[in-house]
Amino acid sequence: MTTTSRATAPAPAPAMDSRLIGVAHYAARGVLEKVLSRYHVTFQEMVTLRPVATAGGPVEHDRLVGRTVAALKADEAAVRDVIGQLIAKGLLAAEGPRLRITDAGRTFYAGASAETAEIAARIYADIPAEDLAAAARVLTTVTERADAELAALAS
């Protein structure tokens, strides 16, 4: 008896929605948090440290607070606490109204960034550039619209 094989149609792509975006976010965040845990640094601390690490010089304290509040959709007091934790860990130093990354902060940031870059390369491997560009455009638009809705809800 011979059997004929039927071509299996590929599964339909899931619909793009907030749930799918959230699942992707938490999957990627889970990877980052696993790397950061080896350094005893939290996700919130990394998000707060990144702008100082990449600034090329000291950053105004209040500007960092505002930028981090916007990025994390967090409470200002919570962000100020995170900055205090980064200072206590010796990753940031206060210089009057400015914050600078310390040598320890630079070393941490370089190491964690290198580790996560290797993992990201594996995650994004073989995804066509045009698909990544389309996803970036869609996610940028979704972010802008969600930020506008959040602002409207706050008023």
pLDDT digits over 40-50, tens only?
A: 999 999 999 99
Extended beta strands in 102-147, E state: none
pLDDT at 42: 97
- Decide if pLDDT at 110 tops 90: yes
Domain boundaries, the chain: 36-123, 125-155
pLDDT at 43: 97
pLDDT at 5: 55
pLDDT digits over 8-45, tens only?
A: 777 787 788 899 999 999 999 999 999 999 999 999 99
* 36-123, CATH topology level: Arc Repressor Mutant, subunit A (1.10.10)
- pTM value is 0.85
SS3 134: helix
Residue 82 CB-half CA count within 13 A: 23
CA nearest to 28, candidates 46, 5, 7: 46
SS3 61: helix
